[in-house]
Amino acid sequence: MRQRVVVTGIGCISCFGIGHRSFADAITAGASGIRPISTFDTSRCRSHCAATIDGFDPAAFIAPLKLRRIDAVGRLALACARLLIDDAALAIGSGGTDDVGVSLGTYTAGLDSTVEYLQGLTRYGPGGVPALLFSNTVSNAPASLCAIEHGLRGPNVTFNQREASSLAALGYAAGIIGDGRVAAMLSGGTDRLEETFFKVHDRFRALSPMHGREEVARPFDRRRNGFVLGEAGVMLLLERADAAARRGARPYGEILGIGMTASATRQNAWPADPSGIARALRLALVDAGTAPGDIDMVVAAANGSRLDRIEAEAICAVFGDRAVPVVSLKGAIGESGAAGSAGVVAGLLTLAAGVVPPTAGFAEADPSAGVNVSSEARPSSGGTFVVNAVASGGTNCTLVVRAAPRVTYAVASRLHDA
């Protein structure tokens, strides 16, 4: 029999700071974390901004001797894992456990070390490259580090599905827990902004360019002209419901259904046909045993690119004439492999407070999109939502999630008092 899968812990480090409460407060208020890049020179680029992490000191989470052996994405993953274990009050004995694993999604893990390694190899030869770099050049290093640090001997899997990485990781984790193969999984996504990665996107004109003083992602807006990159670590503890109940955990919500498909498209291109995205939505609804009318919010993959219209067509095809509220986070947190797991956390926390959050960057509706998007927060009395993730190259993921009433935010109180 399929097991119920609940979310019992959250570890979040984002452009809005450390912790999931600051993240939810900012999303609910319609804030944007997009800011000028200060870590490398962008003077020769068309784009100059990203949703960069704010206030993160890895030394607060990782011992100094370990820090020097771990790259940027690994540090972020370890910090998020520590936050979610503490948040979930998950007790792991000194001997570790065979019944908890790691399923991590990332687009950029290994890039920092790979670039540094290759530059050193080119300039100085094999003898001039620090050996410590090599183990971090593989994208599965952050998930392995989390397992080693906490003694997690369950399944250890890394998903590199570009922008859909973290939602694919969550889908896998929920699937194997539901099948009874493991009691719990640390899952989600971690990405850091790497200079070469940014400049390649800029070179191919994928990013929103600077216009005057403004550079912004505009999901579903008629003026959209490209996306803005982001960086974040957003991880969740997924746990079998009976195991969570035995230890007295209070869930944030439940993963109800999973849908995954692929769209035929050119390499690096967004899907040009909505049918693959619509099929992932339908598969997830069937897997969850829910109907389109049961859904209170769609957290869309839309990021201010050509993807938005295609996804809007898919949403309309599935939900018909019903104007289900649609939200995108990409105007607030940018685009990254961690954006899908961020959408799950945003849905869990805002719907629990009775709020459909606004879409930052949206101001002028695109008549060709036809979805129910707003720049203002809206009240909601339901808690069931879907999260879409679409990768350039054609991977489509959808999760159906139900939030548990749990938290209250000041914006929610003002909405319900109005």
**CATH topology for the 255-417 domain:** Peroxisomal Thiolase; Chain A, domain 1 (3.40.47)
In this prediction, residue 297 has a pLDDT band, given cuts at 50, 70 and 90, of: very high
Per-residue pLDDT reduced to its tens digit, 262-285 = 999 998 899 999 999 999 999 999
Rounded average pLDDT over 368-391: 95
C-alpha 20 chain-centroid distance: 13
Q: What pLDDT score does 212 carry?
A: 58
Which ranges in 98-215 belong to alpha helices (H)?
A: 111-124, 141-150, 165-178, 195-203
Q: What pLDDT score does 414 carry?
A: 47
In this prediction, residue 418 has a pLDDT band, given cuts at 50, 70 and 90, of: very low
Task: Give the C-alpha separation, 119 to 110, whole Å.
Answer: 14
Q: By the 8 A CB rule, do 191 and 108 touch?
A: yes
Q: In the chain, where are the structural domains located?
A: 5-246, 255-417
C-alpha 222 chain-centroid distance: 25
Q: What pLDDT score does 54 carry?
A: 87
Q: What pLDDT score does 213 carry?
A: 60
Q: What's the token pair of residue 177?
A: 């827990």
205: left (phi over 0), alpha (psi -120 to 50) or beta: left
Beta-ladder partners of 372: 325
Amino acid code (one letter) for 5: V
5-246 shares its CATH topology with 255-417: yes
Does 3.40.47.10 match the CATH number of domain 5-246? yes
